[in-house]
Structure 1
Amino acid sequence: MTVPSTPEGSHARQPKRPGPRQVLAPLALAQFVCSFAGSNMTVMIQDISEDLDTTVQGVQTAITIFLLVMAALMIPGGILTDRYGRKRCLLVGLTVYGIGALLSALSPGLGVLILGNSILEGVGTALLIPPVYILTTLLFTNVTDRARAFGTIMAMGGIGAAAGPLIGGLITSAISWRAAFVFQALVVAVIIVLARRIDDPLPPDPERVFDTGGAVLSATGLVLVVMGILAADENGWLMGGLLLVGVLVLVAFFLWVRAKERAGSQPLLRTGLFHNRPSNLGLITQHTQWLMLMGVSFVVAAYLQVVRGYDAISTGVIFSASTMGLLVSSLGAARLAKRREQRTLVMAGFALTVCGIGVLLAMSRGEPSAWHFVPGLLLIGLGMGVMLTPSVNVVQSAFPEDQQGEISGLSRSVSNLGSSVGTAIAGTILVADPAAGPYAVALVVLAVIGLGGLWAATMLPRNAAPTRHG
């Protein structure tokens, strides 16, 4: 057998493929900055409202719209990822996000802030996050390596959400709230440089049909539902009308999808994605986790600043307890995944988080000091870190490679919808009067929702074995 000759030095000319850590770094940082953006504004409520001559409710609206835009566009973003390529969408999304961050830093009023932060950063996130999860699934083929990679990404996402108030508070107190958006733009620039070395393992599919009608219906329905929740403190009839119309639009979306499937056309989202029971339960737990995390962050941050009179840095320091808890449990996620079923970890995470909310309620009576908030926030951070990764792994691993674009978009949409609903529910209860009574009511509502998430976790299959090498 003749072996083809190889030109001398050809090995030296072949580009060196980046190692796992080089690939994972930009993906994890991308999830970090998007999660950070969703939570860091909670400690800037007072500063932004005074500087831009708006209200606490105005800032809450900006935060909620950012989270809602992500949720509404995440599914279309996943489809575009398949059509134009994962790496390309990642880089375009980062660029749009960076422009939005800089525009937010320069905003003279609430309208420009909403355009930069809520719209452009939201659109950028919807484009860049699906590639993060698809690339992770495709590039880390070993089960253990994939679990570890998802653990790192979810840990960075959780840390970004939990550390957002601390980092945002430090930057706001030392410089200005505007500098926090400049910080985001700088992180995005670093990610773009690092991401250039990523190799997309699958070619783009230009023939992939984009369901524009489905995208419009799904986005409109989600927007109307969340806006209905936001309107609850202003007008009950308006709230009911928006919720009813939103639900009807979502029903129309699913009828649209079924009609396209029967006609043999490619819908925005195949109904077959909802035929997998473990995945459905995993989506419910994801939605509930982010609803609780963002809801608690908004409630506690608003209460500390508006009622207790803490400044941004003090509020951020208090929130460092949840950051530390999440960091500790996330660092042990890979080891826990080898020893315990994913179902067990998700259940334990919800139990810890609900207990943390209970501790916050118990220790907030009377005239609590800053230290009274630490134990509850620590437990919430520990609980979130334990369950974030298993929930994502249950969903992503339930589908083959050719469906990763759709399920990734759906997964991230469900999670971000949870974040926006959590902020909307908590803000609606709290924004009219963030005193002790509404504060307690908001936390009780979030705890009850957490118990619903715990129930869903108990329904996960027991045969979801611990992650092992193989």
Structure 2
Amino acid sequence: MYTNQRSKTGLLLATVALVQFMVSLDLSVVNVALPSIAAELGFDPVGVTWVIHAYALPFGGLLLLGGKAADRLGRRRLLLAGLALFGLASFLGGLAQDPAQLVAARAAQGVGAAALAPAALAMLTAAFPGGRERVKAFGVWSAMNAAGGALGVLIGGVLTEFAGWQWVMFVNVPIALAALALTARGIAPDAPARPQGRPDVLGAVLATAGMTFLVFGIIRAEQRGWTAPPTLAVLVAAAVLLAAFAAVERTTRRDPLVRPGLLANRSVAAANAYNLLLGGAMASAFYFVSLYAQRVLGTGPALTGLQFLPLALGVIAGSVVAVKLGYRMAARTLLTGGGLLTAAGFAWFAMISPDGRFLTDVLGPAIVLGVGFGVCLGPLVATATAGVAPAETGTASALLNSSRQIGAAIGLAALGTAAHHRSGPRPDPASLTDGYALGLWLGAAVFGTAALIAFAVLPKSDKP
């Protein structure tokens, strides 16, 4: 009986890890292919960014609704639906013949990801409620999460250069099919949580609209500036909608989308604040280092992707360290130490020079940053879902995914704007390097702030 139970939880862990690898891979694999996509499908320089934004809008906007649906309808059911939609959209995206078709496929991918990401993480949380097995499970999850993001740059570069941009979409199809097969054949259906009333339709509409407007406002800020009237109008609308959502959740007699008491949980609140900052800093790191390699050092797409491999290996090593230390140390200690180590990696990266080389300007800081990031991930996810009622694990997982997604959008827009302003309108390699260095210094400050939050807010004795 014990062996059979371990086999079932092992299969579930493998499935969830594969799902998270696919989601993380998709967030980075497309970036390297954007110039090829623009040239072949006829995107203009601004329009091609919607290959990224069309995914981010529904993913960020629908995550809370996806998490609640996982709790009410069943996590396995929603995971299967999300995987099917994600795989189909990836296949159709690879067949796209014009910009509209590709943007539509990317939007469908975002909807699928908003369903499967919180469902998969909620399944993991329920299967490993505590102890050594929980530490190990979240270590595996975090390694696959970060490895997917880092390897996505490598895989995207190689596929774009040697097979064509279409394969950055097609690559998701076999992964989605494998995850579907594992889920359908090896994971038993779970019983949906007993509803505490009728669905909170108004709250769902306000949250989805507010999150969508927020992501769209950040996109507009990146393209037109933070003080442009259209940007301000969208951000104000987002603030009004989210404020109305908070008011509805406090007063509704229906089953709320997000119970207000959930965010009153000290660990949940601190973990999501940490995750917001982590998302902003790490998205910027991939962006600045990739541009530095290609625009300053003159590295091609495939080789640029290969140069991210040490960072991916560092993340995996950091995740192993977190598992080893997680048996004895509190999450507060790991998140503080890992955050400071990651900040040090950012600071080292910020010392790049216009005539730099991979061995002197990229390799060392990539390893330090990767190890620090890997140390953070497992304890962060475990903390964000610790002590949460079984009926709310989907919601808690969606909150964590939302904070990462919103943080990445805000961080990339804000730090990218600062870097581009420093580089100037007609940048040369020296001014480009100066701008990227500023962005990386700001990333170090952001991660230092995250470490301070972990140290000041999280309890001293709780284990991940």
What TM-score do the two structures reach when normalised by structure 2?
0.90
Equivalent residues in 2 for 1:24-423 (5 A)? 24-55=13-44, 57-117=46-106, 119-196=107-184, 197-203=186-192, 205=194, 209-232=198-221, 233-235=223-225, 236-260=228-252, 264-362=253-351, 364-371=352-359, 372-423=361-412
Inter-partner Cα distance in structure 2 for 1:16 and 1:257: 38
Inter-partner Cα distance in structure 1 for 2:5 and 2:338: 41
Q: 1:16 to 1:64 in 2, by over 3 A?
A: same
Larger Rg: 1
C-alpha contact (below 8 Å) 2:65/2:208 kept by paired residues: no
Q: 1:465 to 1:112 in 2, by over 3 A?
A: same
Q: CA deviation at 1:208?
A: 6.2
Q: 1:17 to 1:332 in 2, by over 3 A?
A: closer
Inter-partner Cα distance in structure 2 for 1:205 and 1:241: 40
Q: 1:154 to 1:325 in 2, by over 3 A?
A: same
Deviations 1:383-438 (A, max 9, x none): 11000111111111121212212212222222222233333334445577772243
Inter-partner Cα distance in structure 1 for 2:410 and 2:254: 32
Deviations 1:334-384 (A, max 9, x none): 11101322111111121122111111111x223112332222222221111
- What residue identity is the alignment partner of 1:234? R
C-alpha contact (below 8 Å) 2:275/2:403 kept by paired residues: yes
Q: 1:274 to 1:141 in 2, by over 3 A?
A: closer
Inter-partner Cα distance in structure 1 for 2:417 and 2:201: 32
Deviations 1:304-336 (A, max 9, x none): 334443221011011112111101111232111
Inter-partner Cα distance in structure 2 for 1:338 and 1:16: 22
Inter-partner Cα distance in structure 1 for 2:95 and 2:150: 25
Inter-partner Cα distance in structure 2 for 1:178 and 1:464: 49
User: Given the alignment, which residue of 456, 462, 469 partners 2:453?
Assistant: 456
User: Given the alignment, which residue of 416, 441, 446 partners 1:444?
Assistant: 441
Inter-partner Cα distance in structure 2 for 1:56 and 1:266: 45
Inter-partner Cα distance in structure 1 for 2:407 and 2:118: 17
Q: CA deviation at 1:29?
A: 0.3
Q: CA deviation at 1:22?
A: 1.6
For residue 299 of structure 2, give the secondary structure of its aligned residue in structure 1.
Answer: coil
Q: 1:462 to 1:90 in 2, by over 3 A?
A: same
Inter-partner Cα distance in structure 1 for 2:162 and 2:45: 22
- What residue identity is the alignment partner of 1:38? L
- What residue identity is the alignment partner of 1:149? A
C-alpha contact (below 8 Å) 1:360/1:376 kept by paired residues: yes
Inter-partner Cα distance in structure 2 for 1:217 and 1:203: 24
C-alpha contact (below 8 Å) 1:134/1:408 kept by paired residues: yes
156-165 vs 206-215, which deviates more?
206-215
Which stretches in structure 2 are left out of the alignment for 5+ residues? none
Q: CA deviation at 1:147?
A: 2.1
Name the structure 2 match of 1:4. Answer: none
C-alpha contact (below 8 Å) 1:356/1:377 kept by paired residues: yes
For residue 163 of structure 1, give the secondary structure of its aligned residue in structure 2.
Answer: helix
C-alpha contact (below 8 Å) 1:294/1:423 kept by paired residues: yes
Q: 1:214 to 1:466 in 2, by over 3 A?
A: closer
Give the aligned CA root-mean-square deviation in angstroms. 2.4
Q: 1:446 to 1:61 in 2, by over 3 A?
A: farther
- What residue identity is the alignment partner of 2:444? A
Identity %: 27
Q: 1:141 to 1:229 in 2, by over 3 A?
A: closer
Q: CA deviation at 1:129?
A: 1.4
For residue 11 of structure 2, give the secondary structure of its aligned residue in structure 1.
Answer: helix
C-alpha contact (below 8 Å) 1:347/1:457 kept by paired residues: yes
Q: How many residues align?
A: 449
Q: CA deviation at 1:290?
A: 2.0
Inter-partner Cα distance in structure 1 for 2:263 and 2:239: 18
Inter-partner Cα distance in structure 1 for 2:262 and 2:450: 20
- What residue identity is the alignment partner of 2:125? T
Q: 1:171 to 1:211 in 2, by over 3 A?
A: same
Inter-partner Cα distance in structure 1 for 2:197 and 2:181: 29
Which stretches in structure 1 are left out of the alignment for 5+ residues? 1-10
Inter-partner Cα distance in structure 1 for 2:46 and 2:59: 20
- What residue identity is the alignment partner of 2:147? I
- What residue identity is the alignment partner of 2:446? I
Q: CA deviation at 1:57?
A: 4.3
Inter-partner Cα distance in structure 2 for 1:321 and 1:27: 24
Inter-partner Cα distance in structure 2 for 1:330 and 1:154: 7
C-alpha contact (below 8 Å) 1:45/1:56 kept by paired residues: no
Q: 1:243 to 1:170 in 2, by over 3 A?
A: same
302-311 vs 313-322, which deviates more?
302-311
Inter-partner Cα distance in structure 2 for 1:215 and 1:418: 21
C-alpha contact (below 8 Å) 1:65/1:420 kept by paired residues: no
Q: 1:308 to 1:61 in 2, by over 3 A?
A: farther
C-alpha contact (below 8 Å) 1:67/1:419 kept by paired residues: no
C-alpha contact (below 8 Å) 1:299/1:426 kept by paired residues: no
